[in-house]
Amino acid sequence: MDWMPHNHSRSLSARLDLARASNSPSKQNISPSVIPKNVLAHANEFIPRVISSSASASPNFLNSYPVPNSATVHPLAKKLEEGDVSSHATPETTSPPLTNSPPVLHEKLGNSPALPAYQENVGGTTYFYQFQANTENRQTPAVTDNVPNTVTTEYNVYTGKHESFFLSEDIRNDILNRNVLSLLQPDPQQYPDLPHEVDSYHELFPLEPISHNNLHKAHMGYQASMYKATHIKTGTHYCLRRIHGFRLSNTKCMAFVELWKKLSHSNIVQLKEVFTTKAFGDNSMIFVYDYHPGSQTLLNKHFSPEQTGYCDPFLNDASTPRPYSYQKNNLLRHTQNNKLPESLIWNYIIQLTSALRIIHSAALACRSLDPTKIIINSQNRLRLSCLGIMDVVLQETNSTISHVALIQHYQQEDLSALGKLVLALACKSTMAVQRDNISTALDIVSRSYTPDLRNLIMYLLSTQQRRSVTDLMPMIGARFYTQLDNLHNQIESLDNELSKEVQNGRLFRLISKLATINERPDFNMESTWAETGDRYMLKLFRDYVFHQVTEEGHPWLDMAHIIQCLNKLDVGVPEKICLMSRDEQSILVVSYAELKHCLEQSFGELASTSVIHHDLSDVGVGVDDKL
């Protein structure tokens, strides 16, 4: 009888006694130089094929080789003796791969005869077997007491890396943190005046502290606050920027709002819509933007006093006057110890100039280029926020001034604001951009950074000539290619991580189909539907894949075995496996192709009568060409 892998923990001696009982009464003569080995001691569910002299096998057992009536040796060993197999392969000593490998045939040791060997891939784990000769220089293997000429082999299972199957922990944690921030709900006791709905948005959550006594006047003297909200119909999260106490009386500014809504860029927080509301108890103007959870302002990132060890070097105690030389040396010393890497500053410059270029080309101006209106994520990705607000507020207060005449002036102010921002980053101080400190700050930049950075700052701060964003490209130079290369590397890394999840999604749909069929208590008034017909084979296959055990009865959790079995089922390969019931009374030898047909037919029965059916028919489409 040809013994196949099974999925229960019958004792080794009982199985070998059963195999021996099925042999012919005639004694078998096994060559001492060719001794079949038993399967690995800790994976008893896989038993090597034992060629016996019994009668022809039952048609339910599809043997890989014909059953002879006399003593035989292993088929691979027979091929070796006939010279049909090469003799240059040696068994591997490293961890086996998780895929099927060609058989390792035999090796030669000095002048000793060729020793046949072969390997077998079971459940994603490769096992090596070798028929050892009785030579003096070979270590005698341990022979079991129950069955003569049967040995056990020590082995180590290669468990692959966790990240080889799933998303990396860094990306996973970043995504989970953003999801947590997107699902935050406000405390009604802490925010009793917060409305439940504002136009088409609900679930408002303040993104910054709300203080009715002293709100920050961020836009032309108007108080502003920011909230996270969810769209009622789509469930998408947005950021609401509220301008307190603003009444819109001139609708001409809405033309500029439409221009901002059409502006889409990777370094711009896109404006979605603008509307007025009285839900907060006053006349408020609401600007709706895309929501980027986990981002912080550039001010909190690099200029916050909450940072450990941060101190603005330009803040001096007026009560203790010191010589100018002492103050300057102190500034230089502090800047050298706490300066930002120049590559990071150029990274910010490239992103900011890219955003300004698209804004200015659309005949618009940013007008909010300061550290409080620039947000940054964990990957140093900058985005300009609060765009379009100043156009609406200014259009209301200066309706008699031509917007076309002002836009060129505001574009020049954008470049000046960019120069001040870069200077503040280089000195790591917001006080460095004050008129009294600019000369000292430029001297610090000259001593701490390359001349290219100083020349760019000088060009942006100059007012003698008309400036343009396109003039900054020669100053950036080859650093642009470094930025482009870093972005491509990041995209490639994310693409590799995404490829893992594509396969995981395919396997999840396959497992979902299996789970809806297995152990179903009732279907079409049939209480035993899941236990009969094709569903019974799927139940045994479920045990074969997920319920393997070792010889001691411990669970055998091999992720490679699970993935390999599911992939073969998805493709429908003709490989046959042996399925055994838990009571060991039923044994089925089926192929993955037959199991796939059973799965599709059984799931089709469920889907035909289901009220809600999500299409899972794309499982396995085109997989045969990819695997």
Whether residue 250 sits in one domain with residue 309? yes
* Residue 417: HSE in the Cβ half-sphere, 13 Å Cα cutoff: 19
Domain that holds residue 620: 503-626
Instruction: Give the count of beta carbons closer than 10 Å to the beta carbon of residue 337.
Output: 9
Which CATH number fits the domain that encloses residue 558? 1.10.287.3700
Q: Considering only CA atoms, which of 234, 207, 216 is closest in space to residue 297?
A: 207
Q: Strand, coil or helix: what is 242?
A: strand
Structure tokens at 578: 């042996």
Q: Is residue 495 part of a domain?
A: no
Number of domains in the chain: 3
Alpha-helix runs per DSSP H in 164-290: 169-182, 254-262
pLDDT in tens, 585-613: 889 999 999 999 999 999 988 888 877 66
Q: What is the separation of C-alpha 129 from the centre of its chain, rounded to a whole number of angstroms?
A: 39
Helix (H), strand (E), coil (C) string for 60-85: CCCCCCCCCCCCCCCHHHHHHHHCCC
Decide which of 103, 137, 158 is a domain's last residue: 158
Whether residue 376 sits in one domain with residue 228? yes
Residue 295 marked in a binding site: yes
Residue 231 marked in a binding site: no
Q: Considering only CA atoms, which of 143, 156, 138 is closest in space to residue 38?
A: 143
**Segment 221-250 mean pLDDT:** 91
Between the CA of residue 213 and those of 191, 210, 323, what are the distances in Å? Answer: 15, 9, 41
Q: Is residue 496 part of a domain?
A: no
Instruction: Give the count of beta carbons closer than 10 Å to the beta carbon of residue 465.
Output: 8
Decide which of 453, 482, 511 is a domain's last residue: 482
Q: Which amino acid is at 514?
A: L
Averaged pLDDT score across all residues of the chain: 75
**Distance (Å, rounded) from C-alpha 50 to C-alpha 72?**
10
Whether residue 333 sits in one domain with residue 385? yes
Helix (H), strand (E), coil (C) string for 242-309: EECCCCCCCHHHHHHHHHHHHCCCCCECCEEEEEEECCCCCCEEEEEEECCCCCEEHHHHHCCCCCCC
Residue 291 marked in a binding site: yes
Whether residue 61 sits in one domain with residue 209? no
The single-letter DSSP state of residue 319 is T
pLDDT band at residue 329 using 50, 70 and 90 as cut-offs = low
* Residue 138: HSE in the Cβ half-sphere, 13 Å Cα cutoff: 16
Q: Is residue 498 part of a domain?
A: no
> Percentage of residues in the chain with pLDDT exceeding 70?
63
Q: Is residue 50 part of a domain?
A: yes
Helix (H), strand (E), coil (C) string for 96-129: CCCCCCCCCCEECCCCCCCEEEEEEEECCEEEEE
pLDDT in tens, 396-408: 555 566 767 788 8
Question: What is residue 247's predicted lDDT score, i.e. its pLDDT?
Answer: 85
Structure tokens at 399: 């309706």
Question: What is residue 419's predicted lDDT score, i.e. its pLDDT?
Answer: 96
Residue 297 marked in a binding site: yes
Question: What is residue 341's predicted lDDT score, i.e. its pLDDT?
Answer: 93
Whether residue 516 sits in one domain with residue 571? yes
**Distance (Å, rounded) from C-alpha 380 to C-alpha 298?**
10
CA angle 30, 35, 39 (to 5 degrees): 130
Structure tokens at 290: 């895309």
pLDDT band at residue 94 using 50, 70 and 90 as cut-offs = very low
Whether residue 8 sits in one domain with residue 44? yes
**Segment 345-364 mean pLDDT:** 96
Percent composition of the chain: helix, strand, coil (DSSP 3-state, to 5): 40, 15, 50
Please, which contacts does 556-559 make with residues 24 or more away whose CB atoms are closer than 8 Å? Answer: 556/43, 556/45, 558/123, 558/124, 558/125, 558/157, 558/159, 559/124, 559/159, 559/160, 559/165
Q: Is residue 369 part of a domain?
A: yes
Whether residue 392 sits in one domain with residue 471? yes
Q: Give the DSSP H/E element, type plus range, for residue 442.
A: helix 438-448
pLDDT in tens, 247-296: 887 788 888 899 999 999 999 999 999 999 999 999 999 999 999 999 99
The single-letter DSSP state of residue 58 is P
Whether residue 261 sits in one domain with residue 142? no
Q: Are strands 271-277 and 284-290 parallel, antiparallel or unpaired?
A: antiparallel
Phi, psi dihedrals of residue 271, rounded to the nearest 5°: -85, 130
pLDDT in tens, 158-198: 555 556 667 888 898 999 999 999 999 988 888 888 999 99
Helix axes 389-397, 254-262, angle to 10 degrees: 170
**Segment 207-214 mean pLDDT:** 69
Q: Are strands 125-130 and 115-122 parallel, antiparallel or unpaired?
A: antiparallel
Whether residue 474 sits in one domain with residue 552? no
Structure tokens at 468: 């343009």
- Residues 6+ away with beta carbon under 8 Å from 331: 313, 314, 440, 444
Q: Considering only CA atoms, which of 317, 343, 324 is closest in space to residue 440?
A: 324
- Residues 6+ away with beta carbon under 8 Å from 525: none
Whether residue 133 sits in one domain with residue 240? no
**Segment 539-556 mean pLDDT:** 91
Q: Are strands 217-219 and 222-231 parallel, antiparallel or unpaired?
A: antiparallel
Instruction: Give the count of beta carbons closer than 10 Å to the beta carbon of residue 516.
Output: 16
Per the CB < 8 A criterion, the answer to whether 460 and 413 are in contact is: no
* Alpha-carbon dihedral sign for residues 419, 421, 427, 432: positive
Structure tokens at 259: 């221009």
Evaluate if pTM is beyond 0.75.
Answer: no
**Segment 307-321 mean pLDDT:** 59
Whether residue 437 sits in one domain with residue 549? no
Question: What is residue 97's predicted lDDT score, i.e. its pLDDT?
Answer: 44
Residue 483 marked in a binding site: no
**Distance (Å, rounded) from C-alpha 597 to C-alpha 603?**
10
Please give the sequence-ordered ranges of beta strands (E in DSSP) within 458-571, or none if there are none: none
Q: Is residue 570 part of a domain?
A: yes
CA angle 350, 353, 357 (to 5 degrees): 135
pLDDT band at residue 503 using 50, 70 and 90 as cut-offs = confident
Residue 241 marked in a binding site: yes
Which CATH number fits the domain that encloses residue 420? 1.10.510.10
Q: Is residue 507 part of a domain?
A: yes
- Residues 6+ away with beta carbon under 8 Å from 222: 243, 244, 245, 246, 393
The single-letter DSSP state of residue 574 is S
Decide which of 158, 190, 213 is a domain's last residue: 158
pLDDT band at residue 13 using 50, 70 and 90 as cut-offs = very low
Question: What is residue 60's predicted lDDT score, i.e. its pLDDT?
Answer: 38
Question: What is residue 80's predicted lDDT score, i.e. its pLDDT?
Answer: 42
Q: Is residue 163 part of a domain?
A: no
82 vs 561, more confident:
561
Structure tokens at 540: 């045994």
- Residues 6+ away with beta carbon under 8 Å from 582: 8, 543
pLDDT in tens, 105-147: 444 444 445 445 556 666 666 666 555 544 444 444 444 444 4
**Distance (Å, rounded) from C-alpha 568 to C-alpha 593?**
8
Whether residue 229 sits in one domain with residue 185? yes
